[in-house]
Amino acid sequence: MKITRVSAIVLRLPQVTAACDGTQDTCLIKIETDEGHTGWGEVDSCPTVVKAIVEAPLSHQICNGIANALAGADPLALDSCMHRMQSAANYYGRTAAGAHAMAGVNIALWDIAGKACGRPVYQLLGGPHKTRFRAYCSILFGDTPAETYERGRRFADLGFTAVKFGWGPMGQSEANDIALVREARRGVGDQVDVLIDAGQVWDWKTALKRAHQFTEFRPFWLEEPLHPEDVAGYARLCAASPLPIATGEAEARFPDFERLLVEGGLDWVQPDPGRCGISTMVEVARLAHRLHRKVVNHSFKSGITIAASLHGLAAAPHGEVFEYCMADSPLRHDLTVEKFPVVDGYVHLPEGPGLGVTIREETIQKYRVA
């Protein structure tokens, strides 16, 4: 089999705000082959930058676009394809958006591999260890503690057993930070777990103080309290925090996850397949298992990313909970025919070949801008 085309498709809602909500736009990766199999991936990054990286023309030997790097390659030689891209993007794309673009390609290549042999991706990865995961509802904080309370009530009523609140006004003041978590807990009630995603707002000493202040509201974890580069801060925080600490969504390369786990001492690591690819997600999950730490997906995109996350998590021996984005956007809910319903608080693995998703072309046509 040979790759005949790699496309990057940018989708965008008519109105995009400054809210920390990744469902307002997206970049899809579509890989076509000479045997009729088409693979789909999705990237959680800056969509137009990713498209430029995919489509970049040849500049010289180690500065080429990703589509050029994959022209004519065998998509089933998946690891070889990853190396071709890394060589082509050697000094402009090793990190950040370059790695994100390759992550989207990695998802699409796994989709092709599964379709070519008629099996779901999780089987090719050696799974499943589990066929369903406890879904936590992932939303943003309200603009105020009172709005956060209302959101908690609304989403706990949808049948989730855990609700995560993220970003928004966290970090503005000590009193407001505490009020946000108090109202989040009050909103979801005593029977539902509450998860707090701070959104990179503190230094480690402030984060440790907040962890103690939040303890009475019994958060399941405290997520991404520090800047992603502050591994030394994570090490000090994790060693002393009364709450489990989660982070990792900002990383794309295995060594960076490894550093966070080994040096940072994380309790939960959160790979996003739309930033690190399914292959690295599984590698990270298995490292976490070896280190007796926990793994959970990060996903704030469409059904493509949800499916990729489910397959990756099912290949980990200790997958347990699942980030289930409930942002109210058609780019979250209408891009795949499959809706991944949460039943009794659980989301189930897709069973079709490849990722097990069917793309809704009409949604692409409606929101495509590049």
- Residue reference for tokens 């009409």: 362
Tell whether residue 251 is a contact of Mg ion (CB under 5 A). Answer: no
Query: Which residue lies nearer to Mg ion by CB, 270 or 280?
Result: 270
Query: Which residue lies nearer to Mg ion by CB, 177 or 197?
Result: 197
**3-state class of 343 per DSSP?**
strand
Query: Which residue lies nearer to Mg ion by CB, 166 or 277?
Result: 166
Backbone angles phi, psi at 68, to 5 degrees: -60, -40
- Residue reference for tokens 């991936």: 41
Which residue type, as a one-letter code, is found at position 131?
A: T
Contact partners, residue 41, CB within 8 Å, separation at least 6 = 28, 29, 30, 31, 103, 104, 105, 106, 107, 108, 109, 111, 274, 304, 308
Residue nearest to Mg ion (CB): 197
- Rounded distance, CA 11 to CA 107, Å? 18
Closest CB 136 distance from Mg ion, rounded Å: 12
Give the total of residues touching Mg ion (CB under 5 A): 2
- String of contacts with Mg ion for each residue 214-233, x by CB under 5 A: ----------x---------
Q: From edge to edge, which strands make up the β-sheet containing 3-12? A: 3-12, 25-33, 38-43
Tell whether residue 44 is a contact of Mg ion (CB under 5 A). Answer: no
Q: Which string of b and e fits 143-152 if b means at least 16 CB within 10 Å?
A: eebebbbebb
Where does this chain touch Mg ion (CB under 5 A) — which range of 44-52, 122-130, 196-204, 312-320? 196-204
Closest CB 244 distance from Mg ion, rounded Å: 14
Figure out which of the listed residues 32, 197, 230, 272 binds Mg ion, where binding follows CB under 5 A. 197
Query: Which residue lies nearer to Mg ion by CB, 44 or 197?
Result: 197
Closest CB 77 distance from Mg ion, rounded Å: 34
Residues in 281-340 at the binding interface with Mg ion, rule: CB under 5 A: none
Q: Give the residues lining the site for Mg ion (CB under 5 A).
A: 197, 224
